[in-house]
């Protein structure tokens, strides 16, 4: 018998090791970089965040037979923004309040549920609903960030807590809604809270034990305090030179609340940085300046957090134009030259293509209407419309609005078509300097005159406003900066996008549909009714030779909190769902019974409704909607029994009587007279609704 060579023995041992049993979610760098088509191992599937799967059994020829294979009801009825992770036959998802679920990816059978028991009162700091976009998996663990700022590692097999760290100072109103990423054993996580007066940063924690490895602050701190002892100290003076005034007293903002990407070849981590705090630069950093690193893409060393380069999309931002939207990496030919690019369609309405090796600007063109700037110049800086800055005290109507030309809903890129697919939208926003601004720590502080958030009273004007609010799926060619096709939707705030090897793109809609389009020309290929807003990023995976397509569905997210006046089909108290489809399945999504809620006759409140309007627009609109018109995610205040009872209303607003339900106390900034004025304003809006429903002086209209 011949002796086997050492090389053969080693190769055989490696092969046997690969075939042997392994624990659940035994994910490492090689596995994510290889990105096996059958699995979805990171938020954007792979480190490049393209959200493109090579799977092609569901394609233009077969998609007509796609049906519901199984669904799973989540335990909460608030916003659903999770992208499922599927590894080793198990699906990991999250719901509102940062609850984690492990499901059998083939059948939907529940394996375990972990509830981090977030104090409901902390929900007051979540500007845009108590959502969570998903988990990360690595080394047999599942990692989740919680609304109240914790990072928790769970055993993938049973959901048992392995470790927990508090990533924030609990005296500041930080939140976490984004999905972590794991790079080289470091769990990377940012946070939110830019509207409440925080200073942004991103941190890395050891996946094994939760020890903090590094932290990078995205805006400078109080100069009197000196260096932070953080990775960002090397660019501390560079940042501070671009700020003016006493910005640190307001926090500064710059939170890293969503997008990240990683290039293993260049060994660069890319983070997207958010808006200023307050939004209004004239208050935050009076006199101008770039305010680094607000609204920027920043490249960091993933091992140390050291700064490599940055590109700022909106210097001196003052419109809530975050650069936290999807960051996608790709290699493509531009102008006959092979380029390693980074792509982003941030809130400000321009689609950017940047050289990801060094941050050099390549090109940018508007993918939606932009009135704040006419173009991005050859130097990569915007050519601004001076009137859009509203620094002179006059109001400015600007496009895009703070909702953005594109928000958190993930976009996708197909290497097959060379197109990026953007959940785009057209909304104008009113901005106006608040001459009476007073910073109130832990409360809403955007520096806007509260009256700009009111609606016109005339029905015709509201109808005209609704007609001007649009949404679409846009297929964008990054190489030529042109739109190749588009699909118009009934309104904005539609779902994230998935691109597949089957020549399809999938997207959910705010009006309760899940749709597949031909990736080449936008022709509708398939549609399923979901009966609820379907906003999250879809994904696809394969088990036992069958391809599945999954998406999370459920009412919630900031649009359904704020824009009740523009939503025909009001949300109903229903839990979110995970919907999973495969070819040949015949299941159906359970329908929702919608009952019209009549406005009860409002009480007569003898107080200053006009003063109450200022209180409402300054502190309540972000959860209860413009002019107190709720969409049903949070109870419509015009229908609330609390409105009818002055004592109960005051106890709720001033004493936190319903803090356990997520309604905090405002007693620190409001007095009893303020609360009664607020009640008078809500009663006025309720009277308007009651009169519209009862035009005959109290008689209900027949229906």
Residues 475-490 pLDDT 10s: 999 999 999 999 999 9
| Domain termination site, one of 583, 599, 623 | 583
CATH number for position 687: 1.10.760.10
Domain count, the chain: 2
State the pairing for strand pair 497-500/52-53: parallel
| Nearest-angstrom CA–CA distance, 348 and 522 | 25
The confidence score (pLDDT) of residue 453 equals 79
Regarding whether 659 and 567 lie in a shared domain, the answer is: no
Q: Establish if 460 belongs to a structural domain.
A: no
| Nearest-angstrom CA–CA distance, 602 and 680 | 10
Regarding whether 631 and 564 lie in a shared domain, the answer is: no
Regarding whether 352 and 229 lie in a shared domain, the answer is: yes
Q: Establish if 459 belongs to a structural domain.
A: no
Asked if 265 and 358 touch (Cβ cutoff 8 Å), the reply is no
The confidence score (pLDDT) of residue 569 equals 67
Question: What pTM does this model have?
Answer: 0.94
The confidence score (pLDDT) of residue 392 equals 86
Regarding whether 643 and 497 lie in a shared domain, the answer is: no
Which segment of 188-192, 229-233, 453-457, 649-653 scores lowest on mean pLDDT? 453-457
Q: Using pLDDT thresholds of 50, 70 and 90, give the confidence band for residue 5.
A: very low
| Three-point CA angle 519, 520, 526, nearest 5° | 45
Which segment of 182-186, 346-350, 448-452 scores lowest on mean pLDDT? 448-452
The confidence score (pLDDT) of residue 697 equals 60
Mean pLDDT of the chain: 93
For the segment 174-205, what is each residue's pLDDT rounded down to a tens digit?
999 999 999 999 999 999 999 999 999 999 99
Q: Establish if 189 belongs to a structural domain.
A: yes
Closest listed residue to residue 409, CA positions, set 481, 507, 272: 507
Rg over CA atoms, the chain: 25
The confidence score (pLDDT) of residue 701 equals 35
For the segment 60-69, what is each residue's pLDDT rounded down to a tens digit?
999 999 999 9
Regarding whether 403 and 363 lie in a shared domain, the answer is: yes
Active-site residue list: 320
Q: Establish if 678 belongs to a structural domain.
A: yes
Regarding whether 277 and 221 lie in a shared domain, the answer is: yes
Count Cβ atoms below 10 Å from residue 332 Cβ, excluding itself: 17
State the pairing for strand pair 539-543/546-553: antiparallel
Tokens of 15: 């092969």
Stretch 555-561: mean pLDDT: 90
Regarding whether 370 and 258 lie in a shared domain, the answer is: yes
The confidence score (pLDDT) of residue 457 equals 85
Q: Is the model's pLDDT at 402 over the cut of 50?
A: yes
How many C-alpha atoms does 505 have within 13 Å on its Cβ side? 34
Query: What share of the chain in percent tops pLDDT 70?
Result: 95
For the segment 517-549, what is each residue's pLDDT rounded down to a tens digit?
999 999 999 999 999 999 999 999 999 999 999
Stretch 609-622: mean pLDDT: 92
For the segment 124-164, what is each residue's pLDDT rounded down to a tens digit?
999 999 999 999 999 999 999 999 999 999 999 999 999 99
Regarding whether 415 and 282 lie in a shared domain, the answer is: yes
Q: Is the model's pLDDT at 683 over the cut of 90?
A: yes
Q: Establish if 186 belongs to a structural domain.
A: yes
Asked if 385 and 371 touch (Cβ cutoff 8 Å), the reply is yes
Q: Is the model's pLDDT at 605 over the cut of 60?
A: yes
For the segment 585-604, what is each residue's pLDDT rounded down to a tens digit?
999 998 877 667 788 999 99
CB neighbour burial string for 461-493, b if at least 16 within 10 angstroms, e if fewer: ebeebeeebbbbbbbbebbebebbbebebebbb
The confidence score (pLDDT) of residue 3 equals 38
Q: Using pLDDT thresholds of 50, 70 and 90, give the confidence band for residue 49.
A: very high
Q: Establish if 423 belongs to a structural domain.
A: yes
Stretch 609-616: mean pLDDT: 93
Regarding whether 512 and 650 lie in a shared domain, the answer is: no
Stretch 104-115: mean pLDDT: 98
CATH number for position 299: 2.140.10.10
Q: Establish if 326 belongs to a structural domain.
A: yes
| Domain termination site, one of 583, 617, 649 | 583
Give the structural domain span for 650: 609-693
The confidence score (pLDDT) of residue 18 equals 39
Q: Is the model's pLDDT at 659 over the cut of 90?
A: no
Q: Establish if 491 belongs to a structural domain.
A: yes
Stretch 357-363: mean pLDDT: 98
H or E segment to which residue 297 belongs = strand 296-300
Stretch 17-36: mean pLDDT: 80
The confidence score (pLDDT) of residue 592 equals 77
Peptide bond into 293 cis (omega under 30): yes
Enumerate the β-bridge partners of residue 211.
none
Regarding whether 541 and 655 lie in a shared domain, the answer is: no
Regarding whether 407 and 480 lie in a shared domain, the answer is: yes
| Nearest-angstrom CA–CA distance, 366 and 415 | 22
The confidence score (pLDDT) of residue 634 equals 86
């Amino acid at each position: 018998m011949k002796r086997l060579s050492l090389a053969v023995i080693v190769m055989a041992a490696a092969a046997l090791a690969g075939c042997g049993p392994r624990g659940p979610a035994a994910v490492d760098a090689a596995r994510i970089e290889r990105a096996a088509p059958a699995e979805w191992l990171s938020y954007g599937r792979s480190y490049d965040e393209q959200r493109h799967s090579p799977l092609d059994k569901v394609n233009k020829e077969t998609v007509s037979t796609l049906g519901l294979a199984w669904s799973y009801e989540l335990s909460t009825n608030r916003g659903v923004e999770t992208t499922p992770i599927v590894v080793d036959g198990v699906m990991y998802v999250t719901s509102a309040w940062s609850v984690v679920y492990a499901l059998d990816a083939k059948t939907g059978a529940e394996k375990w549920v972990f509830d981090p028991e977030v104090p409901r009162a902390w929900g007051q700091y979540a500007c845009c609903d108590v959502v969570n976009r998903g988990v990360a998996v690595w080394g047999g663990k599942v990692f989740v960030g919680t609304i109240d700022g914790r990072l928790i590692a769970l055993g993938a097999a049973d959901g048992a807590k392995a470790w927990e760290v508090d990533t924030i100072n609990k005296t500041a109103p930080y939140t976490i809604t984004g999905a972590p990423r794991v790079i080289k054993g470091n769990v990377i996580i940012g946070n939110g809270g830019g509207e409440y007066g925080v200073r942004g940063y991103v941190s890395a924690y050891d996946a094994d034990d939760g020890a903090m490895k590094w932290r990078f602050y995205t805006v400078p701190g109080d100069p009197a305090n000196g260096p932070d002892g953080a990775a960002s100290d090397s660019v501390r003076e560079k940042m501070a030179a671009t700020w003016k005034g006493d910005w640190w007293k307001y926090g500064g903002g710059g939170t890293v609340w969503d997008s990240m990407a990683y290039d293993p070849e260049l060994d660069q981590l890319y983070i997207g940085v958010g808006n200023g705090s307050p939004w209004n630069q004239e208050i935050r950093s009076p006199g101008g300046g770039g305010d680094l690193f607000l609204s920027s893409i920043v490249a960091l060393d993933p091992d140390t957090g050291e700064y490599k380069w940055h590109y700022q999309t909106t210097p001196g931002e003052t419109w809530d134009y975050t650069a936290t939207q999807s960051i996608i990496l790709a290699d493509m030919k531009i102008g006959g030259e092979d380029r390693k690019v980074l792509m982003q369609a941030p809130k400000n309405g321009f689609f950017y293509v940047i050289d990801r090796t060094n941050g050099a600007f390549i090109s940018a063109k508007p993918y939606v209407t932009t009135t704040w700037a006419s173009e991005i110049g050859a130097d990569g800086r915007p050519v601004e419309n001076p009137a859009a800055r509203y620094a002179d005290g006059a109001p400015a109507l600007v496009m895009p609005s703070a909702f953005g030309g594109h928000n958190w809903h993930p976009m996708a890129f197909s290497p097959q078509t060379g197109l990026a697919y953007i959940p785009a939208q057209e909304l104008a926003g009113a901005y106006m300097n608040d001459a009476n601004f007073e910073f109130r720590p832990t409360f809403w502080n955007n520096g806007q005159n509260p009256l700009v958030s009111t609606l016109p009273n005339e029905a015709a004007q509201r109808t005209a406003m609704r007609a001007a609010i649009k949404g679409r799926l846009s297929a964008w060619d990054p190489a030529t900066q042109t739109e190749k096709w588009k699909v118009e939707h009934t309104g904005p705030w539609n779902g994230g996008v998935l691109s597949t090897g089957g020549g399809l793109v999938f997207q959910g809609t705010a009006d309760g549909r899940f749709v597949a389009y031909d990736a080449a020309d936008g022709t509708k290929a398939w549609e399923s009714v979901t009966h609820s807003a379907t906003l999250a990023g879809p994904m696809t995976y394969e088990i036992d030779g069958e391809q599945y397509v999954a998406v999370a569905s459920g009412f919630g997210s900031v649009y359904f909190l704020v824009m009740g006046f523009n939503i025909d089909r009001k949300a109903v108290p229903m839990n979110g769902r995970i919907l999973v489809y495969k070819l040949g399945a015949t299941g159906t999504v359970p329908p929702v019974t919608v009952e019209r809620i009549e406005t009860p006759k409002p009480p007569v409140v003898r107080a200053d409704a006009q003063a109450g309007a200022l209180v409402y627009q300054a502190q309540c609109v972000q959860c209860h909607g413009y002019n107190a018109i709720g969409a049903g995610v949070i109870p419509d205040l015009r229908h609330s029994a609390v409105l009818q009872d002055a004592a109960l209303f005051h106890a709720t607003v001033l004493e936190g009587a319903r803090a356990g339900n997520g309604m905090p106390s405002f007693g620190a900034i409001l007095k009893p007279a303020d609360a009664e004025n607020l009640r008078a304003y809500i009663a006025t809006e309720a009277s308007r609704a009651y009169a519209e429903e009862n035009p005959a002086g109290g008689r209900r209209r027949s229906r």
